[in-house]
A and B are shown apart, each in its own frame.
Chain A
Amino acid sequence: MADQNEKPEAIMELDGLDPEAVKADLLRVYPIKVARKRSKQIVVNDVGHCDEVPVISANARTIPGLIGQRGCCYAGCKGVVLGPTRDIVNITHGPIGCGFYSWLTRRNQTDPDASEDRHNFITYCFSTDMQEEEIIFGGERKLRKAIQEAYDNFKPKAIAVFATCPVGLIGDDIHSVCREMKGKLGINIFGFSCEGYKGVSQSAGHHIANNQIFKHVVGLDDTVQKGNYKVNLLGEYNIGGDAFEIDRIFEKCGISIVATYSGNSSIDAFANSHTADLNLIMCHRSINYVAEMMEKKYGLPWIKINFIGAEATAGSLRKIAKYFGDQKLIDRVEEVIAEEMPEVEKACKEIRPRTEGKKAMLFVGGSRAHHYQALFNELGMKVLSAGYEFAHRDDYEGRKVMSSIKVDADSRNIEELEVSADPNQYSPRKSSEELKKLEEQGVTFSDYEGMMPTMKNGTLIIDDISQFETDAMIEILKPDIFCAGIKEKYSVQKHGIPLKQLHSYDYGGPYAGFKGAVNFYKEIDRMVNSKVWGYMKAPWEKNPELTATYAWD
């Protein structure tokens, strides 16, 4: 929890500056209407009684001409949620660009040996490569042939079809083509109407992906897997091997994962995932829909956990153990934490003196900007400002505000599935008394506290930050490290400030769990203490301070 201000009337402070003045500086350049809209998306944090925080405008359209970092609905659906699943052949129905750009660009790792058939189609990029004639006369014929070819070539268990912008406009009915081919080929084939213009960001695509996986896959296989303490890990995409590290820890503890959505995943595990006894949510934004629907239809509750940060990992493990309530598991979890922590503490103790007090900013994703603050806290670093690219108000302010979120036209266009308890498959995992008792012990269900209540007062929360604002923030606050993605990386580094990519991990990782924390400490130490910035000015450049340091001057 954030420090509560002793004197509420005290002036807010952001690294010695007035955060309201910093905000005004960011808005200065905009026309009045734009400034008005942005001013609701840039908020000075102020955590009040019961973790009340100011309202932030989120999940709103990006204003044309403000160079933002958001992707599209297709990117969220195909790229993020379905991309990491190795044994579904994903066909992009559209012109070539969309498929090409989502071809292996997210660094999701997978282990094909984990499935008997060893299917792995992640390395392939299938596209119907629509040409002008299909735009004019329709692309269904070509799609049908593409599905047939994918089947003939690979005999996969499932084929998924993703619609791009032109598909919705010309009126191709991908769903009827999928139904027809499913009937013909006898494998699971389903479509996603994730045209790029839908919604305001990739978030719409996450929702569509959740819906279709729930509709077409979840619940198809009732086989109860062997193992104790069965959970699903939702919203963990195995970037840089994060899911592998979590798997390692779970295995040590004796916790069994039925399905991970969707890092290192297989469609068979999705089909079977309703047999687990608890859903764990990592990335709340991208995956909470499927958890909600599974709870309603099958009766398994969900809790929010976080495996980014060693303390957070330990806390999450304890929470899971408490849920199952088995002393054997509770003890085992404590043993594992006691085994793992010394190495983490040793690394932290060695590195922290070099990182203590350094300043960070995080603008990334729909959960990472929050989760990674745990690691910076462990390094004694200060987070000055943070924001998400595509999150909603509940990710900022906590799920308690969900009932007050106004559903706008862009969100209304994304289907909400009607879900009710399944007459055969529904079985509540815990009685309402048990749930109540657990709640009293601090295991909160179906809840996410949000990022803002955990941040300091006076920090600046910026939703959907633009490139222009990014540059301005760097100029004004001069952080020691900036966390974002590849699009921001090289512009931030031009300013002499290192940028840590939290989408792709700069080709490193894992950063989750205990081993991941150590990796991250080392990486941040390397970046914030780099000597390279000191070489920027040549000795002959007029700079008395610098030249004075040379002995021969």
Chain B
Amino acid sequence: MKSQIKQTSSKEYTATKNACKLCAPLGASLVFKGIAGAVPLLHGSQGCSTYIRRYLISHYKEPIDIACSNFAEDTAIFGGGANLKIALQNIHRQYFPSLVGIATTCLSETIGDDVPMFIREYASSHPDESTAPLVHVSTPSYQGTHMQGFHNAVLATVKTIAVTGKFSNIGHVNIFPGMVSPADLRYLKEILIDFNLPFMMLPDYSRTLDGSLWPEYQLIPEGGTTVEMIRCSAGAAGSLEFGRILSREKQSAGKWLNETHQVDCHHLGLPIGIRETDRFFQALEVLSGRPTPEKYQEERGRLIDSYVDSHKHVMSAKVAVYGEEDLVVAMAAFFSEIGILPVICASGDRSGYLKEELARVFPDDVDQSIRVMDNADFVDIESTVQDAKPDLIVGNSKGYAMSRRLGIPMVRIGFPIHDRVDASRRLHLGYRGTQQLFDRIANKLIEYRQLSSTVGYTYM
């Protein structure tokens, strides 16, 4: 039977009620936190930096400093050039940054500030070597979501830094993982090291946003991709870029490096599930000229073994999944491997590619209907969930109210997770991440069945 995929393309209502997306400068700030010694700077009202800091911090539970050019009412009228320059000067005096990532807000975008010109003026009036590279990314909240802010910041960083030449000839690869957890980033690095493959991963907030206590005071938390490595990205042997939706967009860091510097780009889905992870490891084998290390073959083996052993617990379960489009597509691919039906696939994004990418994931023999919702908010999602009555809700903390009201159990993935303590340590990617997802989902289903059983059972 042909798969029957319904798309609810836009919200029924004009207003957004309980949004399933965040704003663009948040994504950009996160990218800059993954660059060693970098300070993110929001050009606009101080409220934006404060709100974004408090929100990111409630997820990562780590220090996150984001500077601001602190517009006042007259700045909004006369323009923010002077404020930006003062901010840059003060940041240099306090933090000695190795890079300043400047993301705009609605305020500076609406008044039409010419940030590239301000940066040129600042650079020419501060010709000394201590001035850090300044990366500018345009991130008004009225265009796109936090994901666009994230990807645009990665692209802007590569575009600004990689043009300065000084290519490496060590045959390293670039990896653009997208917005994944610090645990995911750590695991990706472990894999690349095990393949003996030198790499430049952008961003890498695995240490800056998931660090230990400080024996000594740190101006900027240690860790992150160095500016030097990002410079070398134009001379890499190849790039790996995650995200099926991202691969459909006109622009990305991987595409730009390919078009401008002829660096081959492997466009892959987020490696969740066996098949997408297999593709990732195949790409690594090609790039490194080495076979997949035994450790990962074993991980893969254990994962499939558990698929087999625990299939009875997950098969035919109906799931509602929501979040960033690329995460939803990757999760759907994984669900399709274990017999789970993602009856609702929802996102606050609206690239326009969600339905097509999900259709590629599901082979023709899927005989259940799947509701695909983009540009969705939680009020839309909840009414659809109420209608479809899935067994499980999978997504970020913002779905908890819905899960509680409808009495449907929930597994938390992605961002934001502010009602659990392990947001940074949650693994989603690769064989190991898939194993954790699989176990959590299977256990949650078992737990719920135990709870709702009239007799109660302990042994299976």
Residue among A146, A170, A467 with most chain B CB within 10 A: A467
Are the C-beta atoms of A149 and B142 separated by less than 8 Å?
no
Q: Contacts A64-B90, A96-B19, A135-B142 hold; do A409 and B214 have CB atoms under 8 A apart?
A: no
Does A491 interact with chain B (Cβ within 8 Å)?
yes
Residues in B whose Cβ lies below 8 Å from that of A437: none
Pair B22/A96 contact, Cβ less than 8 Å: yes
- Are B47 and A72 touching (Cβ within 8 A)? yes
Pairwise interchain contact A146-B15, C-beta atoms closer than 8 A: yes
Q: Tell me if A183 is interfacial: C-beta within 8 Å of chain B.
A: no
Please report the C-alpha to C-alpha distance between residue A487 and residue B65 in the assembled complex, in whole angstroms. Answer: 8
**Most central of A91, A123, A150, A471 by chain B CB within 10 Å:** A471
Q: Give, as a whole number of angstroms, the nearest-CB distance from B445 to chain A.
A: 27
CB distance from B351 to the nearest CB of A (A): 15
Does A260 reach chain B (CB closer than 8 Å)? no
Contact of A134 among B41, B64, B142, B211 (CB under 8 A): B142
CA distance A75 to B83 in the complex (A): 22
Say whether A145 contacts B14, CB under 8 Å: yes
Nearest chain B CB to A493's CB is how many angstroms away? 8
| B217 contacts partner chain A, Cβ-Cβ < 8 Å | yes
Stretch at the interface among B54-62, B150-158, B273-281: B54-62
Contact B54 A101 (CB under 8 A): yes
Could you tell me if A490 and B217 are in contact, using CB atoms closer than 8 angstroms?
Answer: no
* B217 and A101 contacting across the interface, CB-CB below 8 Å: no
Given A67-B65, A170-B110, CB of A100 within 8 Å of CB of B93: no
Please state if B70 and A495 are interface contacts (CB–CB under 8 Å). no
**Chain B 2-23 against A: per-residue CB contact (8 Å), 1 yes, 0 no?**
0000000000011111110111
In angstroms, Cα B250 to Cα A300, docked, is 64
Chain A residues with Cβ under 8 A from B13's Cβ?
A: 149
- Are the C-beta atoms of A129 and B217 separated by less than 8 Å? no
B 40-55 binary contact with A (CB < 8 Å = 1; else 0): 0100111111111111
Residue of B nearest to A30 (CB): B93
The answer to whether the Cβ of B128 comes within 8 Å of any Cβ in the partner chain is no
* Interfacial chain A residues near B218, Cβ < 8 Å: 494
- Contact call B141/A61, Cβ cutoff below 8 A: no
CA of A65 to CA of B84, assembled, Å: 8
Q: Is B87 an interface residue (CB 8 A)?
A: yes
Q: Which one of B69, B75, B141 has the highest number of Cβ atoms from chain A below 10 Å of its Cβ?
A: B141
Q: Are A169 and B87 in contact (CB under 8 A)?
A: no
Q: Is the CB of B76 within 8 A of A197?
A: yes
Query: Would you call A487 and B50 a contact (CB within 8 A)?
Result: yes
Q: Does A206 contact B (CB under 8 A)?
A: no
- A34 CA to B90 CA, complexed, in Å: 9
Q: Are A125 and B141 in contact (CB under 8 A)?
A: no
Contact of B75 among A70, A197, A468 (CB under 8 A): A197
Q: Contact at B22–A100, with CB atoms within 8 Å?
A: yes
Question: Within residues 48 to 94 of chain A, which ones have a CB less than 8 A from any CB in chain B?
Answer: 61-75, 91, 94
**Chain B hits for A442, CB < 8 A:** none
Q: Which of B72, B90, B401 contacts A123 (CB 8 A)?
A: B401
Task: Count residues of chain A with CB under 8 A from any CB of chain B.
Answer: 80
Q: Are B110 and A169 in contact (CB under 8 A)?
A: yes
Q: Are B73 and A494 in contact, with the CB atoms below 8 A?
A: no
Across the two chains, which residue of chain B brings its CB closest to A474?
A: B217
Which B-chain residue is minimally distant from A205 (CB atoms)? B47
Note all chain A residues with C-beta closer than 8 A to B37: none
The 8 A CB mask of A462-478 against B (1 = contact, 0 = none) is 00000110010001000
Q: How far is the CB of A161 from chain B (nearest CB, A)?
A: 11
B66's closest neighbor in chain A, by CB? Answer: A67
Contact: B54 with A127, CB < 8 Å? no
Q: Would you call A95 and B17 a contact (CB within 8 A)? A: no
Determine whether A486 belongs to the interface, using a CB cutoff of 8 Å to chain B: yes
How many whole Å from A392's CB to the nearest CB in chain B?
Answer: 16
Binary CB contact string for chain A from 392 to 412 against chain B (1 if under 8 A, 0 otherwise) = 000000000000000001100
Instruction: Select from chain B the residue with minimum beta-carbon distance to A152.
Output: B13
CB-nearest residue of chain B to A97: B23
Cross-chain contact of B90 among A66, A105, A486, A536 (Cβ < 8 A): A66
Neighbour of A73 across the interface among B47, B86, B379, CB < 8 A:
B47
B-contact bits for A483-510, CB 8 A (1 contact / 0 none): 0011101110111100000000000000
B236 at the interface (CB under 8 A from A): no
Interchain Cβ contacts under 8 Å between A and B, 24 examples: A30-B94, A65-B86, A65-B88, A65-B90, A65-B91, A70-B50, A72-B45, A95-B141, A96-B145, A97-B48, A99-B16, A102-B51, A125-B17, A127-B15, A127-B16, A132-B143, A145-B15, A146-B15, A196-B47, A413-B73, A468-B94, A490-B57, A490-B62, A491-B63
Known A-B contacts: A135-B106, A145-B15. Give 9 more (CB < 8 A). Answer: A64-B84, A65-B69, A75-B47, A105-B58, A130-B142, A164-B106, A413-B73, A491-B65, A536-B215
